[in-house]
Amino acid sequence: MPSSISLTVNGTHHHIDVYPGELLRTALRRLRIFSLKHGDETGETGADAILFTRTPDDPKSYRLVNSGILLAAQADRASVVTLEGLEGEDAEDAERSLQERLSPRISTLQQQFIECGAIQCGYCTPAQILAAQHLLDKEPRPSEDAVREAIAGVLCRCTGYLKPVQAILRAAAQLQGETPPPPEIDVRDAPATGEWPASDRLPSNGWHDGGPDTQTQTRTVPVTVAPPRTQVVNKPEPKVDAVKLAKGRPVFADDVELPGMLYGGLLTSPVAHARILSIDTADALALPGVHAVQTYADLPRVIYASGGQSYPQPPPYDQVCLDSKVRYVGDRVATVAAETPELVQEALERIKVEYEELPAAFSPEEAMQTGAPVIHDEDDAQMIHDAKRNVAVKLLVDHNDVDAALESAYFVFESEYRVHQVQQASIEPHVVITYWDEDDRLVIRTSTQVPFHVRRMVAPLLGLPVRRIRVVKPRIGGGFGGKQEMLIEDLCAHLTIATGRPVKFEYTRQMEFSSARTRHPQRLRFRSGVDASGKLVGMEVRVVADTGAYGTHGLTVQMVTGFRALSTYWLPAARFDCDVVYTNKPVPGAFRGYGAPQALFGLEQHMEEMALAFGMDPTEFKRINWVKEGDSLVMAVAMGEGREGFPQTVESSGLAECVETGAESIGWHRRNDPDWKSPPDRPHIRRGIGLAICMHGTGIAGLDMGAASIKLNDDGSFNLLVGATDLGTGSDTVLAQIAAEALGVPLDQIVIYSSDTDFTPFDTGAYASSTTYISGGAVLKAVEDVSLQIRRHAAAHLFEGVDADQLWLEDQKVIAPGGQAVSIEKVALHSIHQEEQHQIMATASHMSYVSPPPFAAQYAALEVDTETGQVTVEKAVMAVDCGIAINPVTASGQVEGGMTQALGYALCEEMPYDDNGRLEVSRFGDYRILAANEIPELDTILVQTYEPTGPFGAKAIAEIPMDGMAPAIASAIFDATGIRIREIPFTPERVWRALKSEKK
């Protein structure tokens, strides 16, 4: 029974009815306090942090606590302050003028978060700001350590914490009357290739390169303005979504309450491999308030592949919405829709399932053995390579005769590596809300990276045509590939279809670990040969990958592994041989880097080991072999993602500069300092520095396509509609910057919206580091079209004797060679209202047959405790060539966040299982992602080259920071101890055992 509590929230007294088990977070969100986010059920994320006291008369008694591990009843007569209460935006303020009230009130702290680029997805931002404000109230001049400690209980998966810490320190300084200098980003031009094109004039045809002029044709995008005349591009513009995120506004999928909304829940399998003999749902359905229970018997059996990828989905097709067989602990069994989350839980626990347990296989080696249990024995699965051997996908790609090349090599080296399974662990879990709209169309509001793929993929599962489905992507609380999947949208939609009611369906943190997606574990074997000078003559890579119970991204991730392993260094001959194998484990899928971190962990160590065995300095060995400008990527044609690829040539590379600048930052020379390496006062400590080089891609050549629409408004501003999906990376900002630059207007004149399948044009989605390059190319094309329309209208009606191609846009004006100018606003009003009336607008698409690689040098300096095996990274450096950084702040933020995730991959993140295939971690903490007070010094250096095929010279940056940390740490451990460890993570025990076995 509910009871009434008295609660003061941000100074307002409330009397609310709460249930005994209701969380304070839930109660506060019922009061429309949406800055509190659900990150987990056990308090580790801190996304729901509040300031709380039971003695509100004492202002100093407020403490930061997590509202998700407090019962609402515990808060009776307490007082709570949330982010909304700090700012007092809604409070009456007679001192604010009408003009001031038209703008949002931003606190110093919020302003610094915005200016420093401390906000990426923004899901944890309200709690971080609240924690920071609480600190500053107590300690106006905090140390960096104090700041890190203050926000350590608010986990962030995006930023790496550096920029939030900077923001808090700068806010502290500002509040003390100081004027902190602008945040500094280390941006350098690579000498050989860093020059922007000399001309800043538009080529006569608008494009540098010719070719058929279709909307989706690959062509070199125009350089409309070159530095130093860029006004918006290559500038640290604040993120366009930063204010709403800094203010904790209801912008995420979960931040709506629809009338009559039900809650959905999923019953998952407790066993690793079994047939369902029976399911009894009667007790669950008998509960008042339970509206639907669905099992395999209730849903049509439609075979599909869940990976959010372009049509046609890469095989295998091995899933159905609900099946009569379960293939891993956490697999789908049944769903429930009910009036409250508590009822959902109770109903799920009342479903009786009788399982016939089957033998299970938990490793690829086991699964491929003769007589192993067949995981996909259903007869309607399609395009499984060899179901009887549990091989989902077989990849075998040859370039020239690698056997002959290795046979004739001067020196051949072979080595093997293992990488493990980890989780994307975005702080916002998967969450979706489905409902019928007034036209009987199904609306799916979902936290997804791929709204258009979801719409296309879910349609046949629901029996609805695509036209009756609308997918809305609000802000996303992090994705990292985990939301490049049609994961729960189908189940939620089926519940809405069954009940006719809106349904909200959200994963718990435990389900995120057991029933979402992960990174593919792999065993990689490298065999390479060199000639007498150390030049590679051939390389063979053999990979056995674990795809868990379903194939989803199994083909494409492993294809990328092969491509990265065999493209970073130039190879006359190469072979990739890979088995992607089913096991009875949770399912790997897309995860930032998408096969590259696995490949590079093996490749970089293999190259280093080979160099040492050959008798050559490893860095020099890599330098003479890495791909350079003008080199072709020999595996590109054979290894597209799930289809044939296209020829690729490296047009820009700042790798040499990256290696050089990174070495300077890390203090590479210390490798030769015995006192540094073996500090005399700490006899059990050994120090080392390691290097890994990285090469990634920029979109998927010949496959990714993005589109953009732009229209001119009466006041000279523009609405930019993009299908691209900003999952916190800042892509909306970057796309708006591209538009603003090319239109000669400030960033605030571009009103960008993404994405809604009803209103925004198609985009493949946020993956493969493609958005800046592909979607940015579309924006640039659409903008060029609009620019031409503006100039034509102006030339025809507002200038005399001037052709459109003589005009240009700058400073919100259309300018003629003689200096005459009219404002874009005037052109807008004239074209819409006065003469030859029409809407100036354009839509364009862009795709590319090339995928220009960004390059990077990744360094780690660390110490190894030789008694315990504990590895402590002291500093990590990434010098990265991402072409021209459209926004240096968001670009460096991508690097810092990626490096931090990669540190976790190398050191402490792990998905261990018991003997029955049950995951042994179900919460953060046990699954350790790094907190603010344990991050080493991070240094990011943007080494700019000019990529001629990219918008304003840009390449990608989102994924490459994930690639090189683990091999750099392996290299540093070797430098410190002489021990080579070929498997991650570098846990204390693994390192200790390696040290011990070496002693023997």
> CB of 516: closest distance to another protein in angstroms?
16
Q: Find residue 332's DSSP bridge partners.
A: 268
Name the residue type at position 424: Q
Residue 341 touches another protein, criterion: CB under 8 A: yes
Helical segments of 275-378, H only: 282-286, 341-350, 364-368
Q: Where are the alpha helices (DSSP H) in 142-279?
A: 144-150, 162-175, 242-246
Size, binding site for another protein by CB under 8 A? 65
Site for another protein in 913-932 (CB under 8 A): 920-923, 925-926, 928, 930-931
Q: What distance in Å separates the CA atoms of residue 585 and residue 550, rounded to the nearest whole number?
A: 9
A 10 A CB-CB count for 176 gives 10
In this chain, which stretch among 338-346, 659-667, 730-738, 953-961 interacts with another protein, using CB under 8 A? 338-346
| Closer residue to another protein (CB): 8 or 870 | 870
User: In terms of C-beta density within 10 A (0-12 exposed, 13-18 middle, 19 or more buried), how is residue 57 classed?
Assistant: exposed
From the list 19-27, 211-219, 484-492, 829-837, the region that binds another protein by CB under 8 A is: 19-27
Smallest gap from residue 137 Cβ to another protein (A): 14
Residues between 120 and 149 that touch another protein (CB under 8 A): 131, 149
In angstroms, the CA 588 to CA 518 distance is: 4
Could you say whether residue 264 binds another protein (CB under 8 A)?
no
| Exposed / middle / buried, residue 370 (Cβ in 10 Å: 0-12, 13-18, 19+) | exposed
For residue 272, the minimal CB distance to another protein (Å) is 17
Which of 231, 719, 916, 933 touches another protein by CB under 8 A?
933
Min dist. Cβ of residue 921 to another protein (A)? 7
Query: Cβ closer to another protein: 744 or 985?
Result: 985
Rounded to whole angstroms, how far apart are CA atoms 757 and 12?
A: 40
Shortest distance (Å) from residue 73 CB to another protein = 4
Give the one residue of 165, 246, 334, 344 binding another protein; rule: CB under 8 A. 344
Rule CB under 8 A: say whether 109 interacts with another protein. no
Alpha carbon distance 902, 873 (integer Å): 12
* Chain residues 32-51 in contact with another protein, contact rule CB under 8 A: 41-43, 46, 49
Question: What minimum distance in Å lies between the beta carbon of 117 and another protein?
Answer: 24
Give yes or no for residue 874 binding another protein (CB under 8 A): no
**8-state DSSP, 527:** E
Q: Residues 776, 640, 951, CA angle at the centre, nearest 5°?
A: 15
Contacts of 439 (CB under 8 A, 6+ apart): none
Of how many residues is the chain composed? 1000
Q: Specify whether the CB–CB gap between 222 and 780 falls below 8 A.
A: yes
Q: Counting contacts by CB under 8 A, is residue 602 touching another protein?
A: no
Instruction: State the nearest-atom distance from the C-beta of 41 to another protein, in Å.
Output: 4
By the rule CB under 8 A, 59 interacts with another protein: no
Q: Which is nearer to another protein, 23 or 240 (CB)?
A: 23
**Segment interacting with another protein, rule: CB under 8 A, options 15-23, 728-736, 765-773, 976-984:** 15-23
For another protein, which residue of 35, 133, 193, 508 counts as binding (CB under 8 A)? 508
- Which of 191, 664, 872, 998 touches another protein (CB under 8 A)? 872
By CB under 8 A, tell whether 867 contacts another protein. Answer: yes
- Taking the complex as a whole, the smallest distance from the CB of residue 26 to another protein amounts, in Å, to 10
- Give CA angle at 531 (526, 534), nearest 5°: 75
- Give the count of beta carbons closer than 10 Å to the beta carbon of residue 823: 16
941 touches another protein by CB under 8 A: no
Main-chain phi, psi angles of 484, to 5 degrees: -95, 55
Q: Quick check: helix, strand or coil at residue 193?
A: coil
Q: Which of 132, 154, 877, 899 binds another protein (CB under 8 A)?
A: 154
Candidate ranges 316-324, 764-772, 880-888, 984-992; the one touching another protein (CB under 8 A):
984-992
Q: Is 69 in the site for another protein (CB under 8 A)?
A: yes
- Percentages (nearest 5) of helix, strand, coil residues in the chain: 30, 25, 45
20 lies in the site for another protein, by CB under 8 A: yes
H or E element in which residue 863 lies = strand 855-865
Please, what is the minimum distance in Å from the beta carbon of residue 942 to another protein? 28
Q: Of the candidates 108, 174, 215, 345, which one interacts with another protein according to CB under 8 A?
A: 345
Choices 13-21, 444-452, 724-732, 781-789; region in contact with another protein by CB under 8 A? 13-21
The residue within the footprint of another protein, chosen from 64, 119, 221, 743 (CB under 8 A), is: 64
Nearest to another protein of 656, 908 (CB atom): 908
Inter-residue contact 899 to 961 (CB < 8 Å): yes
- Is position 153 an interface residue for another protein (rule: CB under 8 A)? yes
518 binds another protein (CB under 8 A): no
CB atoms within 10 A of CB 687: 23
Q: Does 110 bind another protein (CB under 8 A)?
A: no
Q: Which of 854, 851, 886, 847 is nearest to 956 (CA)?
A: 854
Is position 910 an interface residue for another protein (rule: CB under 8 A)? yes
- Residue 276: closest CA among 354, 163, 170: 354
Q: Measured from the CB of residue 915, what is the shortest distance to another protein in angstroms? A: 12
Given the rule CB under 8 A, which of 337-345, 361-369, 675-683, 937-945 is the region that contacts another protein? Answer: 337-345
Q: Considering beta carbons, is residue 359 or 683 the nearer one to another protein? A: 683
Measured torsion, CA atoms of residues 524, 529, 530, 531, in degrees rounded to the nearest 10: -170
Could you tell me if residue 900 is left (phi over 0), alpha (psi between -120 and 50 degrees) or otherwise beta? alpha
Nearest distance in Å: CB 891, another protein = 26
User: Which of 145, 868, 937, 978: binder of another protein (CB under 8 A)?
Assistant: 868
Assess 275 for contact with another protein (CB under 8 A): no
Helices (H), 615-649: 618-625
The only residue of 31, 73, 464, 751 in contact with another protein, by rule CB under 8 A: 73
Return the axis-axis angle of helices 776-797 and 731-743, rounded to nearest 10°.
30
Indicate whether 267 belongs to the interface with another protein (CB under 8 A). Answer: no
Tokens of 482: 């985990």
Q: How far is the CB of 428 from another protein (least distance, A)?
A: 18
Q: Order the strands of the 813-815 sheet from edge to edge.
A: 808-810, 813-815, 821-823
Written as one letter, the residue type at 976 is A
- CB-nearer residue toward another protein: 152 or 243: 152
Taking the complex as a whole, the smallest distance from the CB of residue 125 to another protein amounts, in Å, to: 16
Give the whole-angstrom CA distance, residue 302 versus residue 330: 21
346 binds another protein (CB under 8 A): yes
Distance of alpha carbon 451 from alpha carbon 246, whole angstroms: 25
CB atoms within 10 A of CB 529: 24
User: Whole-angstrom Cα distance, residue 822 to residue 838?
Assistant: 18
Distance CA 961, CA 965 (A): 8
Which residue in 21, 88, 359, 978 binds another protein (CB under 8 A)?
21
Residue 178's contacts (CB-CB under 8 Å, 6 or more residues apart) are none
Tell which residue, 152, 663, 263, 720, has the closest CA to residue 501.
263
Residue 283 lies near another protein (rule: CB under 8 A): no
- In the complex, what is the shortest distance from the CB of residue 959 to another protein, in angstroms, rounded to a whole number? 23
User: How near is the Cβ of 903 to another protein at its closest, in Å?
Assistant: 8
Chain positions contacting another protein, by CB under 8 A: 3, 19-23, 41-43, 46, 49, 52, 54, 63-66, 68-71, 73-74, 76, 131, 149-150, 152-154, 341-342, 344-346, 349, 508, 510, 865, 867-868, 870, 872, 904, 907-908, 910, 912, 920-923, 925-926, 928, 930-931, 933-934, 985, 987-989, 992-993
